[in-house]
Amino acid sequence: MTQPHDEIAGLGPWFHNLHLPDGTETAPGHELGDFPSFKWRAIAPHFPERMEGTRVLDIGCNAGFYSIELARRGALVTAIDVDDHYLAQARWAATRFDVQDRIEFRNMQVYELAHVEEQWDVVLFLGVFYHLRYPLLGLDVVSRRVGRTLVFQSMTMPGPPQEMLVPEDISLEERERLTEDGWPKMAFIEQSLAGDRTNWWAPNAAAVAAMLRTAGLRIVRQPAHEIYWCEPDPDGASSVWSWNAEEYLAATGCGAR
């Protein structure tokens, strides 16, 4: 009879350290520590204990840690990832927690959500943004799928956490202001970071906040470092949905042909 340790090894390597019901762990020696449990502890109190009837989208679900935790609270989860290796881990883990009937797994790119009509009550967009070649487009796509709540997390670059009061407009002669601390900016990573060639971007905190606003979202709170709890605000002053939706429709191929 196959033992859990053998099945875990056969599905490895693991990026999520899942604490399985029998006490075994999938990645106990994770270089980041007990990941992503320590991130979950920061956001878990902000979710209801009972989530029956709540529809959740988990973007970049990896081995399914967050999908499983919310399914255990009764939520109906759609979990997407582009990596069949991670999806196989997640499907296996869901059966260990007996929540496989509450999670639908899909092999899917974030950009493909532009062509989906569904909205979800809660959307998790954790640890994906900076892996995207087209990050702001990805965020715009995701914002259209948020019914009530977006939980967003991105790696950021070090620096002052505060935002500056950015003027509504500056002249060409004032461009030196773009280099000031607190101005929204992103570092581009041409080669790799931490050995990962898909780590393309590192925004500062001000850029994260600004991009969320321009994607039609309002930050409600920050449960922890780099984590943002948001709600839809499509009519915001800088929201793309209030002044330039046509470019989005063209970029995603959703416009009239």
In sequence order, what DSSP letters do the residues of 29-96 get, joined into one string? T-TTSSTTHHHHHHHGGGS-S--TT-EEEEET-TT-HHHHHHHHTT-EEEEEES-HHHHHHHHHHHHH
In sequence order, what DSSP letters do the residues of 186-213 get, joined into one string? EEE-SS-BTTBTT--EEE-HHHHHHHHH
Q: Please enumerate in sequence order all residues whose Cβ is within 8 A of that of 36, keeping only pairs 6 or more positions apart, or say none.
A: 16, 17, 65, 66, 126
pLDDT string in tens for the chain (257-residue length): 456 788 999 999 999 999 999 999 999 989 989 999 999 999 999 999 999 999 999 999 999 999 999 999 999 999 999 999 999 999 999 999 999 999 999 999 999 999 999 999 999 999 999 999 999 999 999 999 999 999 999 999 988 766 778 888 999 999 999 988 889 999 999 999 999 999 999 999 999 999 999 999 999 999 999 999 999 999 999 999 988 889 999 999 997 54
Prediction pTM value: 0.95
Q: How far apart are CA 218 and CA 239, in angstroms?
A: 10
